[in-house]
Structure 1
Amino acid sequence: MYKIILFGDSITAGYYHQEVTDLLTTRISQAFPLAEVINAGIPGDTTVDALERIDQHVLTYKPDYVTVFFGANDMATHHLKTSEDYRENLQKIIDLIGREKIILVSPPANNPLLHVLDRPEHRLEKYVEVAKEVAEQNDIPFVSLFAEMKKQESLRPLLQEDGLHFSEEGYDLLALLMNRALREKIKEGDED
Protein backbone atom coordinates (compact mmCIF):
# COMPACT_ATOMS: atom_id res chain seq x y z
CA MET A 1 0.00 0.00 0.00
CA TYR A 2 1.39 3.38 -0.96
CA LYS A 3 0.10 6.94 -0.48
CA ILE A 4 -0.68 9.44 -3.20
CA ILE A 5 -1.48 13.00 -2.18
CA LEU A 6 -3.26 15.36 -4.55
CA PHE A 7 -1.99 18.79 -3.42
CA GLY A 8 -3.62 21.82 -4.97
CA ASP A 9 -6.44 24.33 -5.11
CA SER A 10 -10.17 24.14 -5.92
CA ILE A 11 -9.68 22.11 -9.10
CA THR A 12 -7.77 19.48 -7.13
CA ALA A 13 -10.44 19.65 -4.42
CA GLY A 14 -13.07 18.69 -7.00
CA TYR A 15 -14.95 22.00 -6.91
CA TYR A 16 -18.07 21.36 -8.96
CA HIS A 17 -21.27 23.41 -8.95
CA GLN A 18 -20.25 25.30 -5.82
CA GLU A 19 -19.36 22.17 -3.83
CA VAL A 20 -16.21 20.26 -3.06
CA THR A 21 -16.63 16.75 -4.51
CA ASP A 22 -14.60 13.58 -4.99
CA LEU A 23 -14.57 13.90 -8.80
CA LEU A 24 -10.77 13.83 -9.05
CA THR A 25 -10.04 11.60 -6.06
CA THR A 26 -12.37 8.87 -7.33
CA ARG A 27 -10.77 8.86 -10.77
CA ILE A 28 -7.27 8.54 -9.31
CA SER A 29 -8.34 5.90 -6.74
CA GLN A 30 -9.93 3.76 -9.45
CA ALA A 31 -6.69 3.79 -11.44
CA PHE A 32 -4.60 2.89 -8.37
CA PRO A 33 -6.69 0.51 -6.23
CA LEU A 34 -3.68 -0.43 -4.07
CA ALA A 35 -3.03 3.19 -3.12
CA GLU A 36 -4.44 5.37 -0.42
CA VAL A 37 -5.34 8.58 -2.27
CA ILE A 38 -5.59 11.67 -0.09
CA ASN A 39 -7.04 14.86 -1.52
CA ALA A 40 -5.29 17.92 -0.10
CA GLY A 41 -6.96 20.45 -2.38
CA ILE A 42 -8.27 23.68 -0.84
CA PRO A 43 -10.36 26.14 -2.89
CA GLY A 44 -8.69 29.50 -3.39
CA ASP A 45 -5.21 28.33 -2.43
CA THR A 46 -2.04 29.81 -3.84
CA THR A 47 1.50 28.49 -3.44
CA VAL A 48 1.81 30.80 -0.40
CA ASP A 49 -1.14 29.02 1.23
CA ALA A 50 0.34 25.67 0.20
CA LEU A 51 3.57 26.42 2.04
CA GLU A 52 1.63 27.40 5.16
CA ARG A 53 -0.21 24.06 5.27
CA ILE A 54 2.30 21.66 3.71
CA ASP A 55 3.33 20.11 7.05
CA GLN A 56 -0.24 19.40 8.15
CA HIS A 57 -1.73 18.37 4.79
CA VAL A 58 1.19 16.62 3.08
CA LEU A 59 4.34 15.87 5.07
CA THR A 60 2.53 14.44 8.10
CA TYR A 61 1.15 11.63 5.89
CA LYS A 62 4.62 10.58 4.66
CA PRO A 63 3.42 10.23 1.06
CA ASP A 64 5.09 8.14 -1.62
CA TYR A 65 3.86 10.37 -4.46
CA VAL A 66 2.47 13.91 -4.57
CA THR A 67 0.83 15.73 -7.45
CA VAL A 68 1.44 19.48 -7.08
CA PHE A 69 -1.14 21.56 -8.94
CA PHE A 70 -1.13 25.29 -8.17
CA GLY A 71 -1.00 28.47 -10.21
CA ALA A 72 -4.56 29.38 -11.19
CA ASN A 73 -4.94 31.48 -8.04
CA ASP A 74 -1.32 32.65 -7.85
CA MET A 75 -1.70 34.36 -11.22
CA ALA A 76 -5.08 35.95 -10.48
CA THR A 77 -4.68 39.71 -10.52
CA HIS A 78 -6.34 40.09 -7.09
CA HIS A 79 -3.49 38.10 -5.48
CA LEU A 80 -0.78 40.15 -7.22
CA LYS A 81 1.82 37.38 -7.05
CA THR A 82 4.58 37.62 -9.63
CA SER A 83 5.67 34.67 -11.72
CA GLU A 84 8.98 34.81 -9.82
CA ASP A 85 7.12 34.45 -6.51
CA TYR A 86 5.38 31.44 -8.05
CA ARG A 87 8.73 30.00 -9.18
CA GLU A 88 10.29 30.43 -5.73
CA ASN A 89 7.28 28.93 -3.96
CA LEU A 90 7.15 25.91 -6.28
CA GLN A 91 10.83 25.32 -5.57
CA LYS A 92 10.23 25.52 -1.81
CA ILE A 93 7.38 22.99 -2.13
CA ILE A 94 9.62 20.64 -4.12
CA ASP A 95 12.45 21.01 -1.60
CA LEU A 96 10.14 20.24 1.33
CA ILE A 97 8.43 17.21 -0.22
CA GLY A 98 11.42 15.85 -2.14
CA ARG A 99 11.70 15.87 -5.91
CA GLU A 100 11.66 12.07 -6.14
CA LYS A 101 8.01 12.10 -4.97
CA ILE A 102 6.58 14.92 -7.07
CA ILE A 103 4.64 15.28 -10.28
CA LEU A 104 4.13 18.94 -11.20
CA VAL A 105 0.95 19.93 -13.05
CA SER A 106 0.80 23.15 -15.07
CA PRO A 107 -1.89 25.74 -14.43
CA PRO A 108 -4.98 24.97 -16.54
CA ALA A 109 -6.27 26.85 -19.54
CA ASN A 110 -9.34 28.94 -18.88
CA ASN A 111 -11.99 30.43 -21.10
CA PRO A 112 -11.64 34.23 -21.12
CA LEU A 113 -14.97 34.49 -22.91
CA LEU A 114 -16.60 33.12 -19.76
CA HIS A 115 -15.67 35.96 -17.41
CA VAL A 116 -12.21 34.87 -16.24
CA LEU A 117 -10.93 38.42 -16.64
CA ASP A 118 -8.56 38.34 -13.64
CA ARG A 119 -6.48 35.59 -15.30
CA PRO A 120 -5.41 37.01 -18.69
CA GLU A 121 -3.96 34.61 -21.27
CA HIS A 122 -0.52 36.28 -21.48
CA ARG A 123 -0.13 36.02 -17.71
CA LEU A 124 -1.33 32.41 -17.71
CA GLU A 125 1.19 31.44 -20.40
CA LYS A 126 4.02 32.92 -18.31
CA TYR A 127 3.00 30.85 -15.28
CA VAL A 128 2.79 27.70 -17.39
CA GLU A 129 6.30 28.37 -18.70
CA VAL A 130 7.61 28.92 -15.17
CA ALA A 131 6.09 25.63 -13.97
CA LYS A 132 7.65 23.80 -16.92
CA GLU A 133 11.07 25.35 -16.23
CA VAL A 134 10.90 24.41 -12.54
CA ALA A 135 10.00 20.81 -13.45
CA GLU A 136 12.90 20.63 -15.93
CA GLN A 137 15.40 22.16 -13.49
CA ASN A 138 14.41 19.60 -10.86
CA ASP A 139 14.14 16.69 -13.31
CA ILE A 140 10.59 15.89 -12.23
CA PRO A 141 7.61 14.78 -14.34
CA PHE A 142 5.55 17.64 -15.75
CA VAL A 143 1.91 17.35 -16.75
CA SER A 144 1.33 20.03 -19.38
CA LEU A 145 -2.37 20.38 -18.64
CA PHE A 146 -2.53 23.80 -20.30
CA ALA A 147 -1.14 22.45 -23.61
CA GLU A 148 -3.40 19.39 -23.51
CA MET A 149 -6.46 21.57 -22.92
CA LYS A 150 -5.45 23.90 -25.76
CA LYS A 151 -5.31 20.92 -28.14
CA GLN A 152 -9.05 20.42 -27.70
CA GLU A 153 -11.38 21.81 -30.33
CA SER A 154 -13.08 23.90 -27.64
CA LEU A 155 -12.47 24.52 -23.95
CA ARG A 156 -16.18 24.84 -23.25
CA PRO A 157 -16.87 21.10 -22.67
CA LEU A 158 -13.95 20.91 -20.20
CA LEU A 159 -15.07 23.81 -18.03
CA GLN A 160 -18.02 24.82 -15.93
CA GLU A 161 -19.96 27.99 -16.70
CA ASP A 162 -17.43 30.11 -14.78
CA GLY A 163 -14.77 29.33 -17.41
CA LEU A 164 -12.23 28.22 -14.78
CA HIS A 165 -13.42 25.20 -12.80
CA PHE A 166 -13.65 21.81 -14.46
CA SER A 167 -16.67 19.94 -15.76
CA GLU A 168 -16.81 16.14 -15.55
CA GLU A 169 -15.10 16.05 -18.97
CA GLY A 170 -12.38 18.32 -17.64
CA TYR A 171 -11.83 15.97 -14.71
CA ASP A 172 -11.68 13.04 -17.12
CA LEU A 173 -8.82 14.74 -18.98
CA LEU A 174 -7.02 15.82 -15.80
CA ALA A 175 -7.25 12.32 -14.30
CA LEU A 176 -6.05 10.72 -17.54
CA LEU A 177 -2.95 12.94 -17.57
CA MET A 178 -2.25 12.58 -13.85
CA ASN A 179 -2.74 8.81 -13.95
CA ARG A 180 -0.33 8.50 -16.87
CA ALA A 181 2.33 10.52 -15.02
CA LEU A 182 1.75 8.62 -11.77
CA ARG A 183 2.11 5.26 -13.53
CA GLU A 184 5.46 6.36 -14.96
CA LYS A 185 6.62 7.67 -11.58
CA ILE A 186 5.56 4.48 -9.78
CA LYS A 187 7.26 2.37 -12.45
CA GLU A 188 10.48 4.36 -11.95
CA GLY A 189 10.20 3.84 -8.18
CA ASP A 190 9.77 0.09 -8.64
CA GLU A 191 12.92 -0.04 -10.79
CA ASP A 192 15.08 1.72 -8.19
Structure 2
Amino acid sequence: MQTYHFPVFMIILKGFDNMKVVLFGDSLTFGYGVWPKDNIEHLLKNCYKDTEFINSGVNGDTTREAAERFENDVLKFNPDIVTFLFGSNDSAMGEGAYRTLYEYRLNLQAMVEEIRLKNKDCKIIMITPPPVDDTVFMPWTYNDRLAPYCSTVREISYEYNTYLADFNKHLSGIEDLTLYLQEDGCHLSEKGYVEFFNCLKGVLDTINI
Protein backbone atom coordinates (compact mmCIF):
# COMPACT_ATOMS: atom_id res chain seq x y z
CA MET A 1 0.00 0.00 0.00
CA GLN A 2 1.35 3.43 -0.93
CA THR A 3 1.84 5.83 1.95
CA TYR A 4 1.17 9.53 1.46
CA HIS A 5 2.96 12.12 3.55
CA PHE A 6 1.23 15.45 3.87
CA PRO A 7 3.11 18.58 4.92
CA VAL A 8 2.24 20.01 8.29
CA PHE A 9 1.69 23.76 8.37
CA MET A 10 2.09 25.79 11.52
CA ILE A 11 -0.21 28.78 11.57
CA ILE A 12 0.76 31.59 13.89
CA LEU A 13 -1.97 34.12 14.44
CA LYS A 14 -0.94 37.58 15.52
CA GLY A 15 -4.18 37.97 17.41
CA PHE A 16 -3.17 35.35 19.95
CA ASP A 17 0.11 37.08 20.82
CA ASN A 18 0.37 39.64 23.57
CA MET A 19 0.24 43.18 22.27
CA LYS A 20 3.73 44.71 22.22
CA VAL A 21 4.38 48.35 23.14
CA VAL A 22 7.78 50.03 22.76
CA LEU A 23 8.31 53.03 25.02
CA PHE A 24 10.83 55.12 23.10
CA GLY A 25 12.42 58.14 24.67
CA ASP A 26 15.07 59.70 26.86
CA SER A 27 15.61 59.61 30.64
CA LEU A 28 11.94 60.45 31.30
CA THR A 29 11.00 57.16 29.67
CA PHE A 30 13.95 55.28 31.19
CA GLY A 31 12.98 56.36 34.70
CA TYR A 32 16.01 58.36 35.81
CA GLY A 33 16.15 59.03 39.56
CA VAL A 34 13.28 56.78 40.67
CA TRP A 35 13.07 53.13 41.69
CA PRO A 36 12.25 50.80 38.78
CA LYS A 37 8.87 50.04 40.35
CA ASP A 38 7.92 53.71 39.99
CA ASN A 39 8.88 54.29 36.35
CA ILE A 40 6.39 54.43 33.49
CA GLU A 41 7.20 50.92 32.23
CA HIS A 42 6.32 49.22 35.51
CA LEU A 43 3.24 51.35 36.16
CA LEU A 44 1.90 50.32 32.76
CA LYS A 45 2.83 46.67 33.27
CA ASN A 46 0.92 46.60 36.54
CA CYS A 47 -2.17 47.93 34.79
CA TYR A 48 -2.08 46.03 31.50
CA LYS A 49 -1.12 42.51 32.56
CA ASP A 50 -1.49 40.93 29.11
CA THR A 51 0.55 43.55 27.26
CA GLU A 52 4.33 43.44 26.76
CA PHE A 53 6.07 46.76 27.42
CA ILE A 54 9.63 47.34 26.24
CA ASN A 55 11.50 50.28 27.75
CA SER A 56 13.71 51.82 25.07
CA GLY A 57 14.47 55.00 26.98
CA VAL A 58 18.10 56.15 27.15
CA ASN A 59 19.40 58.82 29.51
CA GLY A 60 20.53 61.99 27.79
CA ASP A 61 19.17 61.12 24.37
CA THR A 62 18.03 63.66 21.82
CA THR A 63 16.19 62.82 18.61
CA ARG A 64 19.58 62.61 16.83
CA GLU A 65 20.77 59.69 18.97
CA ALA A 66 17.26 58.21 18.89
CA ALA A 67 17.31 58.08 15.09
CA GLU A 68 20.65 56.27 15.17
CA ARG A 69 19.33 53.48 17.41
CA PHE A 70 15.80 53.38 15.99
CA GLU A 71 16.22 50.14 14.07
CA ASN A 72 17.73 48.22 16.98
CA ASP A 73 15.63 49.66 19.81
CA VAL A 74 12.24 49.94 18.11
CA LEU A 75 11.75 48.41 14.68
CA LYS A 76 13.34 45.03 15.42
CA PHE A 77 10.60 44.33 17.98
CA ASN A 78 7.84 44.73 15.37
CA PRO A 79 5.69 46.58 17.92
CA ASP A 80 1.94 47.13 17.84
CA ILE A 81 2.34 50.52 19.51
CA VAL A 82 5.27 52.95 19.78
CA THR A 83 5.39 55.98 22.07
CA PHE A 84 7.71 58.91 21.36
CA LEU A 85 8.85 61.20 24.18
CA PHE A 86 11.73 63.49 23.24
CA GLY A 87 12.42 67.20 23.48
CA SER A 88 13.66 67.90 26.99
CA ASN A 89 17.27 67.37 25.90
CA ASP A 90 16.82 68.67 22.35
CA SER A 91 15.74 72.03 23.76
CA ALA A 92 18.45 72.19 26.45
CA MET A 93 21.21 74.79 26.24
CA GLY A 94 24.15 72.89 27.70
CA GLU A 95 26.28 69.74 27.45
CA GLY A 96 26.08 69.57 23.65
CA ALA A 97 22.53 68.25 23.66
CA TYR A 98 20.85 71.15 21.90
CA ARG A 99 19.16 70.32 18.60
CA THR A 100 17.54 73.03 16.54
CA LEU A 101 13.80 72.95 16.16
CA TYR A 102 14.33 72.24 12.47
CA GLU A 103 16.43 69.13 13.17
CA TYR A 104 14.05 68.02 15.92
CA ARG A 105 11.14 68.08 13.47
CA LEU A 106 13.05 66.28 10.73
CA ASN A 107 14.24 63.53 13.07
CA LEU A 108 10.76 62.85 14.43
CA GLN A 109 9.21 62.93 10.97
CA ALA A 110 11.79 60.49 9.61
CA MET A 111 11.14 57.97 12.40
CA VAL A 112 7.36 58.22 12.09
CA GLU A 113 7.60 57.71 8.33
CA GLU A 114 9.88 54.71 8.79
CA ILE A 115 7.39 53.04 11.11
CA ARG A 116 4.60 53.65 8.62
CA LEU A 117 6.75 52.15 5.87
CA LYS A 118 7.72 49.04 7.85
CA ASN A 119 4.40 48.42 9.61
CA LYS A 120 1.38 50.46 8.57
CA ASP A 121 -0.74 48.90 11.33
CA CYS A 122 1.53 50.09 14.15
CA LYS A 123 -0.11 52.73 16.34
CA ILE A 124 2.01 55.77 17.15
CA ILE A 125 1.59 57.91 20.26
CA MET A 126 3.41 61.23 20.26
CA ILE A 127 4.02 62.65 23.76
CA THR A 128 4.82 66.27 24.56
CA PRO A 129 7.70 66.68 27.05
CA PRO A 130 6.62 67.84 30.52
CA PRO A 131 7.17 71.38 31.81
CA VAL A 132 10.23 72.17 33.91
CA ASP A 133 10.75 74.24 37.03
CA ASP A 134 12.04 77.56 35.69
CA THR A 135 13.52 78.49 39.08
CA VAL A 136 16.06 75.64 38.96
CA PHE A 137 19.18 76.11 36.83
CA MET A 138 20.08 72.44 36.44
CA PRO A 139 17.68 71.57 33.59
CA TRP A 140 19.51 73.98 31.24
CA THR A 141 16.19 74.82 29.69
CA TYR A 142 13.12 76.91 30.35
CA ASN A 143 9.49 76.49 29.54
CA ASP A 144 9.71 79.25 26.94
CA ARG A 145 12.42 77.25 25.15
CA LEU A 146 10.46 74.01 25.54
CA ALA A 147 7.15 75.40 24.24
CA PRO A 148 7.96 75.34 20.49
CA TYR A 149 9.19 71.74 20.80
CA CYS A 150 5.86 70.79 22.33
CA SER A 151 4.07 72.60 19.53
CA THR A 152 6.13 70.66 17.00
CA VAL A 153 5.06 67.36 18.56
CA ARG A 154 1.41 68.43 18.33
CA GLU A 155 1.86 69.49 14.71
CA ILE A 156 3.53 66.21 13.72
CA SER A 157 0.80 64.24 15.48
CA TYR A 158 -1.80 66.14 13.47
CA GLU A 159 0.09 65.91 10.16
CA TYR A 160 0.63 62.16 10.43
CA ASN A 161 -2.67 61.37 12.14
CA THR A 162 -1.07 59.76 15.20
CA TYR A 163 -2.36 59.56 18.73
CA LEU A 164 -1.30 62.39 21.05
CA ALA A 165 -0.64 62.32 24.79
CA ASP A 166 -0.27 66.00 25.67
CA PHE A 167 1.71 65.49 28.85
CA ASN A 168 2.97 69.07 28.89
CA LYS A 169 -0.57 70.39 28.93
CA HIS A 170 -1.59 67.76 31.48
CA LEU A 171 1.08 68.81 33.99
CA SER A 172 0.82 72.52 33.25
CA GLY A 173 -2.63 72.51 34.80
CA ILE A 174 -1.26 71.32 38.16
CA GLU A 175 -0.93 73.97 40.87
CA ASP A 176 2.37 72.96 42.53
CA LEU A 177 4.57 71.51 39.80
CA THR A 178 7.52 70.99 42.18
CA LEU A 179 5.74 68.00 43.77
CA TYR A 180 5.89 66.20 40.44
CA LEU A 181 9.52 66.91 39.60
CA GLN A 182 12.80 65.90 41.21
CA GLU A 183 15.12 68.49 42.75
CA ASP A 184 16.77 69.11 39.39
CA GLY A 185 13.51 70.64 38.17
CA CYS A 186 13.41 68.46 35.08
CA HIS A 187 13.08 64.75 35.84
CA LEU A 188 9.84 63.29 37.13
CA SER A 189 9.31 62.30 40.75
CA GLU A 190 7.20 59.33 41.81
CA LYS A 191 4.12 61.57 41.73
CA GLY A 192 5.19 62.82 38.33
CA TYR A 193 5.25 59.27 36.98
CA VAL A 194 1.77 58.64 38.32
CA GLU A 195 0.58 61.64 36.32
CA PHE A 196 2.53 60.43 33.27
CA PHE A 197 0.75 57.11 33.64
CA ASN A 198 -2.65 58.79 33.95
CA CYS A 199 -2.03 60.87 30.85
CA LEU A 200 -0.79 57.94 28.75
CA LYS A 201 -3.45 55.55 30.01
CA GLY A 202 -6.16 57.84 28.70
CA VAL A 203 -4.75 57.37 25.19
CA LEU A 204 -3.98 53.65 25.49
CA ASP A 205 -7.55 52.95 26.57
CA THR A 206 -8.84 54.47 23.35
CA ILE A 207 -6.72 51.93 21.45
CA ASN A 208 -8.26 49.13 23.53
CA ILE A 209 -5.01 47.37 24.39
Do Structure 1 and Structure 2 share a fold, with TM-score over 0.5?
A: yes
- Tell me how many residue pairs correspond in the alignment: 185
Q: 2:130, 2:20 → 1: CA distance?
A: 25
Question: Among the aligned pairs, what percent are the same residue?
Answer: 32
Amino acid at match of 2:92: A
Give CA-to-partner distance per residue, 1:110-163, whole Å, 9 cap, x none. 001122462122211111111110101111111111111110001101000000
Which of 60, 69, 77 is equivalent to 1:53?
A: 69
Give CA-to-partner distance per residue, 1:13-66, whole Å, 9 cap, x none. 01115xx73521111112211111110000000011111001111111110001
Determine helix, strand or coil for the equivalent of 1:80.
coil
| Residue matched to 2:30 | 13
The answer to whether the 8 Å contact 1:110/1:116 transfers is: no
| Residue matched to 2:107 | 89
Q: Which moved more, 1:118-127 or 1:158-167?
A: 118-127
Larger radius of gyration: 2
The answer to whether the 8 Å contact 2:24/2:57 transfers is: yes
- Long gaps (5+) in structure 1: 188-192
Q: 1:117, 1:103 → 2: CA distance?
A: 25
- Long gaps (5+) in structure 2: 1-17
Q: Which of the two has greater helix per residue?
A: 1
Amino acid at match of 1:8: G
The answer to whether the 8 Å contact 2:63/2:86 transfers is: yes
TM-score scaled by length of structure 2:
0.84
Q: 1:167, 1:117 → 2: CA distance?
A: 14
Q: Give the 4+ runs in structure 1 shifted more than 4 A.
A: none
The answer to whether the 8 Å contact 1:5/1:65 transfers is: yes
